Structure 1
């Protein structure tokens, strides 16, 4: 899960505060000390942590407490507000030129994922109605041009290249002219990187910038490299001037130091986040939603957006009806698994549901279902009779052995599937109850604001 280590430590700290009717200065001091340690262990920049905790203390001790909140909830609300501000406050969108084409230049060190990100960004912006052209400006890395061309073929997005013997400045210039001639309103320039910053790299990037005048220069950084990447981003900004950051591999960043430090250190916001290897796994970065996820409040808006793009609306309504009528079957479970799989990793999806990320009955589900597991689960369900899928209670020992043989699995795998099915039904009941409370109370009540 994203920021898993930091999230667990912070949520543990605030759980202590939540039950207290009144907080004294000592309680606040102790909580702030734990917050500071958690952030430093998450590899957040030391100066950023110092300033962050100072702001928290000033607000926690000096502000009037809202009538609707307990003192513990008040502190948590402050942390949520400040975490959001630390990561940029609001979503930062790219600048679209009133006179097409809009030119976006991707920069960064070698290995950060610029070429793949170029494809993901083109794919995302095309879904928003743009007509992108990708320009293969990395003429030094072996097969970089070919990689971009393959991505272009997979996505059905055109790629402009003049080969690896051409000056990258000429490629960038030619791409912009090509876009004007062929009606592409967006040009994404993939540039070369190096293993470290050097004068030759910066001079080339400056020459491209002064020739095509990009509307956005986005620094592509690997979230898992932590503070090293933040330092490099600062240098790029000082020498080249960047407009924002695309953070790759955020789904694999259990600490979160880079994401929490980069805005404060560089002054430039994270605009997009890479959340997986698939070509549709690039998302706009929302600081408020990320802060809520770190504090265990879930991320309902992103969950809804994922559901809208990845799930069949009619099937979802039918599943909802069956849950309410207690007619939810293993066949439904299998179809739902297929739809949820298209939305992303299961542990990330669960982490977006308020109050369920830490729920005991979901511990066996979180992170447990990978690609192979899905295949095994499908095989097990497909080896059942229609009655067994509809009435799992009839599946006793002899039936389990037959199902295991038919699916090429073990009886223990069949037992695990049946257990996961029951846990899913419990989760669905919780979600249904949450929906009722939303309709009754006029809004969603998050775990820290009950």
Structure 2
């Protein structure tokens, strides 16, 4: 997400150099480029106009401290305005009501609403320790009810059955009554979607809202529709007392216009981002962290949280002890590391959160992708346990057998062995106090303020 905008903005803001202070003249061209970058990202025009004016007012006349360049000062101003635009601070779910708290999900057909119900149920269960019940009030699509039942089983939450012959309000009331009797904390209600907003749809969801009096009413919208996502959310918000927005499919949205437009157009906060197809791919929305990602500063806090939540600590500690004792890092360990990275949302998700990635050309980033990781894993899986422990054994005929078994070429096997040899060298340096030496050697090349 934000790939195009991030690349354009970081390139533009780096060009402002040499002046002692920021004036209208020396930021005029830069702001013109920022405006074009936002419009190309499909940010709504009124939002762009307001953003540029606020940046200009805050930036003009600011003194440039000796330790900073004009570009860095403008980056700070732009960062602050991006945070303001997206909501200033994180907006969390308000579930402080008498249990069960009802979360009503609204949205158009195809926005990823049912999948989001499953993701949110998992997040509430695993991150918040809630006992969750999910129910489908979509009486027009039997497949939606079955899909939700499957998702509930996958994420380990309770599913309340419903039929296409029932009334949506009756379904919702029965689910809440069941949750109350079984001491469940949260009921997430999936509703019917349409291909477009119509009077029947609005009347039905308004009736459902009145019957359930939900603690949260979330609008689920496809971020790839750009500023149309914000306009659709506004139409729903005019008919329904929304409490927040969930942006889905953000992993496929290189522009990011929806995230930058929704708050200002609707007045409703973005509460979550859908960042992939897996049921773990849901992130709470932090405006300050997203602003940092857009400006190529990375999002180290989210990365740390993801590592804590998704990395197998026992396996990581086992590997750390093995390396510290000077025992060899083998191909089985390498495969485990590939799997851990995929558990964390894949390479694209990790790169998106690393500082400075906005300055890396898209062509370079595209060379490192999840398909390549899966290919590497397939090659390692085609080896015998002995070959994984002792890669030096892998010569001509073994390479051909491994390539045939993994559906790859011999040159792919050679490339893997070369990459592994480089990683093995690095791991050797990290054993026996080598990590500290490496950090000291890197210190001169790291940005100021890094804790080494």
TM-score class, shorter-chain normalisation, is 0.7 to 0.9
User: How far did 1:271 drift?
Assistant: 0.3
Match in the other structure for 2:337: 336
User: How far did 1:440 drift?
Assistant: 9.0
Whole-Å Cα distance in 1 between the matches of residues 377 and 122 of structure 2? 30
Whole-Å Cα distance in 2 between the matches of residues 9 and 323 of structure 1? 41
Match in the other structure for 2:291: 291
How do 1:123-272 and structure 2 match up within 5 A?
A: 123-127=122-126, 128-272=128-272
- Structure 1 residue 119 and structure 2 residue 118: aligned? yes
Whole-Å Cα distance in 2 between the matches of residues 24 and 426 of structure 1? 48
User: How far did 1:98 drift?
Assistant: 3.3
Whole-Å Cα distance in 2 between the matches of residues 125 and 317 of structure 1? 28
Whole-Å Cα distance in 1 between the matches of residues 370 and 437 of structure 2? 25
User: How far did 1:23 drift?
Assistant: 5.5
Structure 1 pair 196–308 and aligned structure 2 pair: CA distance change class (3 A): same
Whole-Å Cα distance in 2 between the matches of residues 39 and 434 of structure 1? 43
Match in the other structure for 1:345: 346
Q: Does the aligned pair in 2 maintain the 1:94–1:216 contact within 8 Å?
A: yes
Secondary structure at the counterpart of residue 115 of structure 1: helix
Q: How many residues align?
A: 442
Q: Deviations over 1:47-82 (max 9, x none)?
A: 100110111111111334455432221111111111
Which moves more between the two structures, 3-12 or 330-339?
330-339
Q: Deviations over 1:404-434 (max 9, x none)?
A: 355442123124334554776799999x689
Which runs of 5 or more residues in structure 1 are unaligned? none
Secondary structure at the counterpart of residue 103 of structure 1: strand
Q: Does the aligned pair in 2 maintain the 1:310–1:340 contact within 8 Å?
A: no
Q: Does the aligned pair in 1 maintain the 2:137–2:189 contact within 8 Å?
A: yes
Match in the other structure for 2:46: 47
User: How far did 1:118 drift?
Assistant: 1.1
Structure 1 pair 361–251 and aligned structure 2 pair: CA distance change class (3 A): closer
Report the TM-score, using the length of structure 2 for normalisation.
Answer: 0.86
Q: Does the aligned pair in 2 maintain the 1:105–1:188 contact within 8 Å?
A: yes
Structure 1 pair 425–294 and aligned structure 2 pair: CA distance change class (3 A): farther
Structure 1 pair 69–282 and aligned structure 2 pair: CA distance change class (3 A): same
Secondary structure at the counterpart of residue 60 of structure 2: helix
Q: Deviations over 1:180-217 (max 9, x none)?
A: 11111111111111111111111111111112111111
Report the TM-score, using the length of structure 1 for normalisation.
Answer: 0.87
Which runs of 5 or more residues in structure 2 are unaligned? none
Secondary structure at the counterpart of residue 36 of structure 1: helix
Q: Report the aligned-residue RMSD.
A: 3.5
Secondary structure at the counterpart of residue 349 of structure 1: helix
How do 1:350-369 and structure 2 match up within 5 A?
A: 350-356=351-357, 358-359=359-360, 363=364, 367-369=368-370
Whole-Å Cα distance in 2 between the matches of residues 263 and 390 of structure 1? 53
Secondary structure at the counterpart of residue 143 of structure 1: helix
Match in the other structure for 1:279: 279
